[in-house]
Structure 1
Amino acid sequence: MALRNRRKSGISPNAALLFQGGIGVFGLIGILVFGIPVLLLGPGLWPSLAYGVVGAAGTYALLLLLTQIPGLFPGNLERQMQGLYDFASNYSPMVLLLLSLLAGIGEELLFRGAVQGWLMAHTGPVTAVLAASVLFGLVHYISFTYFLVATGLGLILGSVYAYSESLLLVMVWHAVYDMIALFCLLRFPSWFGVTTADRRRFHE
């Protein structure tokens, strides 16, 4: 999800949704203007949906396991999780669900459909996946650690898109991943070293 911690700016739900949705519009315009071929369904509708859900759950489980390895991630990852928690806690579950869906659809239209698709037509699949993934990480840059995590996710999504030839699959993967991530962060903040408002008041 390209949105960062905007609690201090007081961004409204409508503005957040418009921003996230605008990414998809931008990607779709790029696809149409440059005539980029889009590989939509690959193995089919239901396999794309099923693989997307399973892939998202597996990817998030892997990330959780990696965070348990001492010293693998710098300490500032906890600060990023705190910022994301503060951002997400300002919105209703429905808004967060819509943001996740828009992120999955919009960001995949832009980064996998438009950017990776254009690069695959002009370079090769490895270069296309790497370049689109790094760009995906840079757009999500709020720290070097977060950049690495986002780039890693981009590499997974880009590789899956190139292999499966299903943009729908990676859209579902991305959207469900964001849903799981937000749910776990808000429901189990202690997993990520996040201090909630209740805990802050307790320590004051």
Structure 2
Amino acid sequence: METSQRRREDGPLRSVLVAAGLTILGLLVANFTTLPAFLLDPALLESPADASRAARSVLLILNFVGFALAGAIYLAATDHGWAYVDLRMPSKRGWKYVGIGIVAILAFYFLVSIVVSTLSLPSSENQVMSYIDDDPTMVLIMIAIVFFFNAPAEEFLFRNIVQKRLYAAFSRLQAVVIASVIFGLVHFPSYALLSDSMLATAVPLATVTGGALVFGYLYAKTDNLLVPIVSHATFNAFQFGLLYLALEYDLFEEAQPTADAVVDALAAVPL
């Protein structure tokens, strides 16, 4: 009954604007929460790779804390409370969707890597790579950040808050698509800053948006936030694990061109 009432009150335009506003709030709060990291090591402003590992780690952690805090602000402002958060241990069906999600996202990224390699498309790196540089230890730290901060915060804000908010005016499939496009656009600055062309920026943005469609679908099918969180974290951990091996054992230099493109696409485009 509550959903039907909200559908009558919320038009599509208003719902999209609210979803976009929540996303902007997340970015603004994240910019605020990361300030202590820059005070910890000012080198983050000019040359992130030269900053201490502690400062780089704190910056990335606080960025995702900002996303989670934005979601918490929304819950408090709307009187939804934490009961609005769909977080529980998955059922057998839920774990099945976790597995489906991991396989689907791996297959998707593998296909993208082949297309990018075949068409020789340019692809910009994520700004996160500037904080990792060629430091294998930092890659291992990122795996922990992915599980405890990145995936939980992004899925909470963009699936449980933004996507769920869009249910008020759209079908679930439509909400998944809109939330995924918003999620992709959020990453525009991360890629544009290190890009030398719009095409090089568009390729990873399209890839990130495609990945978000997978995670959004998992949430829509299960109404359980933990399902996309586990799939998201596992996939990103795989990406960073592959990057760690590439850096530690010089796979980028020794791999054949096609294999190298696969490694590059999987490891250098974190969600």
Smaller-chain TM-score bracket: 0.7 to 0.9
Indicate if the aligned counterparts of 1:52 and 1:169 stay in contact, CA closer than 8 A: yes
User: TM-score when scaled to structure 2?
Assistant: 0.59
1:46-70 deviation digits (Å, cap 9, x = unpaired)? 6545642552244124312331236
**2:265 counterpart of 1:168:** no
The letter for the 2-side match of 1:40 is L
Matches within 5 A, 1:85-100: 85-88=129-132, 89-90=134-135, 92-100=138-146
Please tell me whether the aligned partners of residues 85 and 225 of structure 2 are also in contact (alpha carbons under 8 angstroms): yes
Rate the CA distance shift 1:74–1:124 in 2: closer, same or farther, 3 A. Answer: farther
Report the AA paired with residue 161 of structure 2: A
- Sort the Cα spacing of 1:30 and 1:63 in 2 relative to 1 into closer, same or farther, 3 A: same
Gaps of 5+ in 1: 195-204
Structure 2 residue aligned with 1:75: 121
What's the counterpart of residue 61 of structure 2?
A: 17
Tell me the residue number matched to 1:182: 240
1:153 aligned onto 2:236 = no
Note the C-alpha offset of 1:185.
2.4
1:52 paired with 2:98, answer: yes
**In structure 1, what residue type is equivalent to 2:233?**
A
- How much is the aligned-residue C-alpha RMSD, in angstroms? 3.1
1:31: which partner in 2? 75
Mapped partners of 2:97, 2:203: distance in 1: 28
Identity, % of aligned positions: 22
> Paired residue for 1:63, among 105, 109, 112?
109
Report the CA distance shift for 1:51/1:159 in structure 2 as closer, same or farther (over 3 A): closer
Paired residue secondary structure (2:112)? helix
**Does the residue aligned with 1:40 lie in a helix, a strand or coil?**
coil
2:115 counterpart SS class? coil
Q: Which has the larger radius of gyration?
A: 2
Q: Which runs of structure 1 show a deviation greater than 6 angstroms over 4 or more consecutive aligned residues? A: none
Q: Report if aligned partners of 1:60, 1:180 keep a CA contact under 8 Å in 2.
A: no
Q: Aligned residues, how many?
A: 188
Unaligned runs of 5+ in 2: 1-26, 31-44, 192-200, 253-259, 265-271
The structure showing larger relative contact order (alpha-carbon pairs under 8 Å, at least 6 residues apart) is 1
